[in-house]
Amino acid sequence: MRSTGREKVKVLSFEELRKLVYKHDPECSVLTPSDNDIVDITGVGSITDAEPTSLTFVDSSPPASVEAIKDTRSLFIICNRQTASVIGEDRFGKVILGVVNPRLCFIRVLTALLEREQSVRGYWAQREAFIYPDADVTIGNYVMLHAGAVIGAPGFGYERDESNRPIPFPQLGGVVIGDHVTIGANTCIARGTMPKQNTVIGAYTKIDNLCHIAHNVQIGKRVMIAGHVQIAGSAVIGDDVWIGPSASISDHVCIGNAAEIVLGAVVMEDVPPGAKVAGNFAVSYPSHAKDWTRRKHGRE
């Protein structure tokens, strides 16, 4: 076995690999060396540094993909169907698996190979992750909490008194995390403010490292949140949204389904479904790009 941190990739025969690939792409094309003397797969690697018995993938198109397959030391390559058809009879003495989406196929095969601690229902948390014991936290199945993740911290709520001193608003709500959610290292998710008022993370949402999700935020399903994102209190994020690195979303803002927030954007108002916004303050991406081009070339 080859160790990849705390996870280990199982030794895999060619027939087992073929079954895994066919499971996700029944019309996969498979090219094998003419001598049929195929060794087992003992690990994984990138196309540039994979060992001979490592599985790898290339997602570019010919001729670049063909050259990458020719040059790699790996004997097991997942590529797109166009690349497989161009290679044809050459094969370079390697096993070539032509699929619709090489990267997705590789991810699915690798996920099946990894021996994870999270192999049963429930959630998996690294030792350094912390769930506030006094918070009402509900965590779904197959959830991953990475090192330093903090769940259920009190939210940032204050009211100034007669002497202008900030007085904390007791935070009494909870956190609800759906199935198949990943929370990155040193990401903090605050609890809701009032009882029955929860901060919610929808199923299959993936949150990167060093993010802050404030109290009462509602995040939908399958949302992708990159590193250093800040989402202020009571914001609502729809399903299938992409939020780029270091983006900031103001409180009570609503982001529509399938919207895209470009890296570094500062979102101060609602974003319609399917829209793409960028800039500080964020505007529609085509308008931002046009304005940036105009300023770059010195035109008003």
> What tens digit of pLDDT does each residue of 209-222 get?
999 999 999 999 99
Range of the domain at 285: 123-290
- Residue 154 CA: distances (Å) to CA of 10, 35, 97, 157, 176: 42, 64, 50, 9, 15
Computed from CA positions of residues 83, 87, 93, 97, in that sequence, does the dihedral angle turn out positive or negative? positive
Co-location of 225 and 127 in the same domain: yes
Indicate whether 298 belongs to any domain.
no
Of 49, 83, 115, the one marking the end of a domain is 115
Q: What is the pLDDT of residue 119?
A: 46
Question: Is 85 inside any structural domain?
Answer: yes
Q: How far is CA 110 from CA 52, 127, 206, 220, in A?
A: 17, 24, 18, 27
Per-residue confidence band for 299, with pLDDT thresholds at 50, 70 and 90: low
290's tokens: 């046009």
pTM: predicted TM-score of the whole model, two decimal places: 0.77
Q: CA torsion, points 56, 61, 63, 65, in degrees to nearest 10?
A: -10
Q: With respect to residue 146, please indicate whether it lies within any of the assigned structural domains.
A: yes
11-22 burial: b if 16+ Cβ within 10 Å, else e: ebebebbbebbe
Model pLDDT, residue 281:
75
Q: Is residue 177 domain-resident?
A: yes
Is 219 part of a structural domain of the chain? yes
In a domain, 150, yes or no: yes
Pair of tokens at residue 85: 């058809």
| CATH code, domain with 285 | 2.160.10.10
The Cα–Cα gap between 81 and 74 comes to 18
d(CA 63, CA 72): 14
CATH number at residue 88: 3.40.1390.10
Same-domain pairing of 68 and 111: yes
Q: How many residues does the chain have?
A: 300
Q: How many CB atoms neighbour CB 161 within 10 A?
A: 9
Nearest to 178 by CA among 138, 211, 148: 138
Taking the C-alpha atoms of residue 11 and residue 8, their distance in angstroms, rounded to an integer, is: 9
Nearest to 95 by CA among 71, 108, 78, 112: 78
- Residues with a catalytic annotation lie at 215
Residue 220 lies in a domain: yes
Same domain, 144 and 262: yes
Question: For residue 92, what pLDDT is reported?
Answer: 87
Percent of the chain residues past pLDDT 70, beyond the cut = 87
Q: How many H helices and E strands in the chain?
A: 5, 32
Indicate if 133 and 260 belong to the same structural domain: yes
For range 168-196, the mean pLDDT: 95
Encoding tokens for residue 7?
């996870």
Among 97, 115, 133, the domain-final residue is 115
178 and 64 together in one domain? no
Domain boundary among 115, 148, 169: 115
Please identify which residue in the block is written with the tokens 């609503």: 254
Residues 106 and 174 in one domain: no
Q: List, for residues 7-44, the tens digit of each pLDDT value.
A: 556 788 888 899 989 988 898 999 888 766 688 888 88
Edge-to-edge strands, sheet with 136-139? 136-139, 174-177, 199-201, 218-219, 236-237, 254-255
